[in-house]
Structure formats: C-alpha cells, structure tokens
Amino acid sequence: MIPLDEAQRVVLDACPPLAPVDCDLADAIGLVLAADVVADEQVPPFDNSAVDGYAVIAADVAVAPVTLEIVDEVAAGAASTTTLLRGQAIRIMTGAPIPQGADAVVMVEHAELVDDRTVRLDATAASGAAVRLAGSDVEVGDHVVPAGTVVSAPVLGTLASVNACRVRAHPRPSVAVLATGDELVSDGGPLAPGQIRETNLRMLVVLLEQAGCDVTNVGVVADDEAVLETTLRAAASEHDVIVTSGGVSMGDYDVVKAVLGRIADMRWMQIAIKPAKPFAFGLLDGVPVFGLPGNPVSALVSFELLARPALRRMMGMQRLMRPSVIAISDDGVERRPDGKVHFQRVVGAFEEDGRYHVTNVAGQASHQLAATAMATALAVVPDGDGLPAGSEVAALVLGD
C-alpha cells in the first residue's frame, strides 16, 4: 500500500492547470482568472448621491433647522443642468449625479416639504456628506481583480462595473464519465438474477458538475474490449479528462483494467485508506484517466480525495481540498490497527459551544451508499485503536 499523499502527488503532478482562454464575462462565473483585470474606467464614474434626499451647499445647513428653496429635481440616470446657489436645494435620488455647486446631501428622512417650492431640513450636513465621489471604489489603473480569483457573483459584478466584457481564465475541464458492466441496469427495468441498479455513474455526473466541469455522460459500456477501447479512445480525443468506475482492484479481471492496461500508461494503486483503497490513474494519449472503485462509497471517497482536487487544479484553483476543521467526535470511532487511515462518514454541525461536532452515520461499509448519503463530512481517523467519544478529529466538510 502507498500513503494517500503519495497517490495525490502522482495525480496532481499529471494534472496541471489548463491553458487560459479568453471568454465572455457572462460565461466566466465559477472560472479562475488567469490574468489581473486592470480598470480603464472609474467607479463610480461621477460624484453621486448615496441616498434619496436634497443636494445642498454644506454651509447652508451648518445649523439646523433651515428652510431652502427647491430649484430642481434629479433622478438616477439623469443630470441636473441647474447650478446650485446659496439658499437653494435640489431634490435628488440615490445614484443621481451631484449637481454643480452642491457638496452635500441631506437625507429625505430629515426633510419636510413646506410647499412645492420650499423644504425644511432638520439635520446638519458637512461637506461630502452622503456623496459618493467619482473613483471612490475603483480608479483608472487599479488592479481590481487579481489572477487566481474565482469569478463569484460579486466578482462578476465588479468586472461588469469596469466594463471588462471579456476576461482571461482557465476553462472548465471537459470530462467523459462512463461505467462498465453487463450487470448494471440503468433503464429502470426489472432486475434479472445477478443484476444491480447503476448508481455510480449518476452520482459521478453530479459530483463532476458540482466541481465545475463540463460533463459528458457516456453511459454504461458493455463488457466488450473492442467496444470499450473505441469508446475510451474517442473520449480521449474529445475531452480533457476521463473518469471510469469499477474494475481497479488487484484481483479484478475486468474489461476496464484489460483495455486501459493495454492502451494507456496506467498506475494501479492500493492506497492506505479505507474505504477507496483501490485506485487507478494514468494517461491515455495525454489525457488523465481516473479509475475509481466500483463500490459506491469507495467511488465517492476516491473522487473526493483524488479526482476532485486534480480537477480543481486543472481549473486553476488555489484551494484543492475540501475545507478541513477540527471537530468533536460525539460518538467516538471504533476501529483496529490495519495500516490505513479511515475516512469515517459523519454528519457534522456547529453547536452552541462554537465547535464543529460530528456523529457517525449508521452504515460504514463501502457498499452502504444509503447511509453515506446522509453524511456531510468525512472524519479522518488515523491508524490505531480508534477514538473515544468526545475526542478531537479532523473532518473534511463536504458539499458546496
């Protein structure tokens, strides 16, 4: 067996970030910027009001209350042509340009109309009050978003604010995912003796999409070496990554192992973890191939620990693994020394003490997907005699 970190190093070294591409801003959400974005516009582009109220000359409202003449009104998207003079005010809406001559805004909550042409203000305002100055958020030449940033919704808005219509980013990996096995039934039909429902493929498609990949569901491929070879070669010619499920155990004679062993440069690993000890990785015509175990829980854990981090690296992500917290194991963990790190499926939550507490799901066997479906974290239990209840344990928090 090899340590997990060695297996991860093998995979990550073979999965460098994909070459950057230029893309429309609308298509950039979730991508990682490959170049700094430098502003060539100010934000905001002009001095504007931060509130609904009255644009004034600060000297006129140094003492309150004060009564001023209303000489104009300006809404967002318009501009006043009136130059404000002493003793005057202009009704102004949030975001509207500050009129010439004004240097402060008094909120409408502090205003009372005397008549259509007169307003009484009961609050003072210093020069600059409630005024958003041009360039107060972004100046021309500012590096508004650095390379390596994931384009989130606020980042997207920031890029739009400086008119960055196209950005340079690492693309999403295109992934072909497939399962093999004549025993797998995916059409909802009745099960013949020895057949089982296909689950891994459906699960992996969702996990890949959640990881940010463009996914092609190749489907279930028959246990036919010629068909599988044709399918794999076609997938390698059209995708950045291939993911398969099943046929990677040391004792297996499976079409996946037979075909990949012949046409790809594969490494068949036994990793010192439980579940997900068997794992295969290699390159087919330069395309990374992830051979995940067939047991559904093993496939899930293998994906989380090995495939997902590599895919995130290909996308240019800086943080590859799931967030890790030091948790309190409320149940404790029973285990025996076996030379492996165990990834216990647990349900976790922050409690009133401010600590993240985890409890074990009911079933921990590698085929018990129904129990694992309730898990929200993986507790990392080192080799040994287990943990008593109340012990601290590292936990990888699952989910987005």
pLDDT, residue 269, reads 95
Is the four-CA dihedral 306, 308, 314, 319 of positive or negative sign? negative
Same domain, 31 and 106: no
Task: Tell me the per-residue pLDDT of 161-172, one tens digit each, with 9 for 90 and over.
Answer: 999 999 999 999
Same domain, 198 and 301: yes
Whichever domain contains 111, its CATH number is 2.170.190.11
pLDDT, residue 253, reads 64
Task: Tell me the per-residue pLDDT of 328-376, one tens digit each, with 9 for 90 and over.
Answer: 999 999 999 999 999 999 999 999 999 999 999 998 888 888 888 899 9
pLDDT < 50 stretches in the chain: none
Amino acid at 379: A
**Domain limits for position 37:** 21-43+136-170
Q: Which residues, 6 or more positions from 362, have their beta carbon under 8 angstroms from its beta carbon?
A: 371
Same domain, 52 and 113: yes
pLDDT, residue 283, reads 98
Label residues 42-58 b or e (16+ Cβ within 10 Å = b).
bbbeebbbebbbbbbbb
Q: Coil, helix or strand for 288?
A: strand
In a domain, 58, yes or no: yes
pLDDT, residue 251, reads 62
Residue 349 vs residues 327, 346, 358, 398: alpha-carbon distances, Å: 9, 10, 7, 12
Q: Which residues, 6 or more positions from 66, have their beta carbon under 8 angstroms from its beta carbon?
A: 60, 120, 121
Same domain, 115 and 160: no
Whichever domain contains 372, its CATH number is 2.40.340.10
Whichever domain contains 32, its CATH number is 3.90.105.10
* Number of domains composing the chain: 4
In a domain, 319, yes or no: no
Same domain, 54 and 38: no
With 0.85 as the threshold, say if the pTM is over it. Answer: yes
Same domain, 33 and 165: yes
DSSP string, 308-366: HHHHHHHTT-S--SPPEEEEEESS-EE----S-EEEEEEEEEE-TTSSEEEEE-S--ST
Same domain, 338 and 372: yes
CA dist., res. 231 & res. 281, Å (int) = 18
pLDDT, residue 45, reads 96
pLDDT, residue 84, reads 98
Token pair of 235 as six digits: 């997938």
Same domain, 128 and 263: no
Token pair of 8 as six digits: 């991860």
Strand 21-24 to strand 166-170: parallel, antiparallel, or no bridges (unpaired)?
antiparallel
pLDDT, residue 369, reads 86
Same domain, 153 and 25: yes
> What radius of gyration, in Å, describes the C-alpha atoms of the chain?
31
Query: Interior CA angle at 175 toward 169 and 179, to 5°?
Result: 165
Task: Tell me the per-residue pLDDT of 3-56, one tens digit each, with 9 for 90 and over.
Answer: 999 999 999 999 999 999 999 999 999 999 999 999 999 999 999 999 999 999
Q: Can you say whether residue 130 is alpha, beta or left, with left for phi > 0 and alpha for psi between -120 and 50 degrees?
A: left
